[in-house]
Amino acid sequence: MNFSLINKIFIMLLVIFSFGFVLPEQRKIPVENASPKDWNSESFWYYPWGKSRTHKGIDIFAKEGTPVKASTGGFILYNGKISMGGNVVFMLGPKWRFHYYAHLKDSSKRRFGFVDAGQQIGSVGTSGNAAGKSPHLHYSIKSMYPQVWKYDAKQRQAWKRTFFVNPDEYLRL
């Protein structure tokens, strides 16, 4: 490879990476008709919390079957089942953030497709390790890169926390 080709590839990758930061981020509460009173604002990064030890999201409580909508526009990377999350949707959104929707009763979108903010992607349920508990959506947001300015050595799993966005704060902006 010559130097000119390497420069072109680097510039192309830089443009693609930058594009992820300029995409508009419309923020919507992902459970239809929910408000901040439907989740505990202190549940993000709560310890101790089951097998995962630290709760890396918020649980938005609603009746089973209540529509779950994309909190922002994005690209669905995975739609399927995993043991703890049950029926899940994993989406890449603006600012290179991954949005994780878990414990769904069902999901209505296929992987490798785009969704707009507010578009239905599933419904509230009790799948995965939420079986036998009140119906809710577990919603978490993970950054592709560490947000080092958020590092706090006093927090449990402090370095890992730099990769997570507090959904409570995100949805209230």
User: Three-state DSSP class for 164?
Assistant: strand
Q: Does position 13 have pLDDT exceeding 70, yes or no? A: yes
Q: Which CATH superfamily, name and number, covers 24-172?
A: Glucose Permease (Domain IIA) (2.70.70.10)
Q: Residue 41 phi/psi, 5° resolution?
A: -65, -20
The structure's pTM equals 0.90
Mean pLDDT of the chain: 93
Adjacent-strand bridge partners of 93: 97
Please tell me the distance from the alpha carbon of residue 166 to that of residue 172, in angstroms, as a whole number: 10
Domain positions in the chain are 24-172
pLDDT in tens, 88-105: 999 999 999 999 999 999
Per-residue pLDDT, 109:
80
Per-residue pLDDT, 1:
57
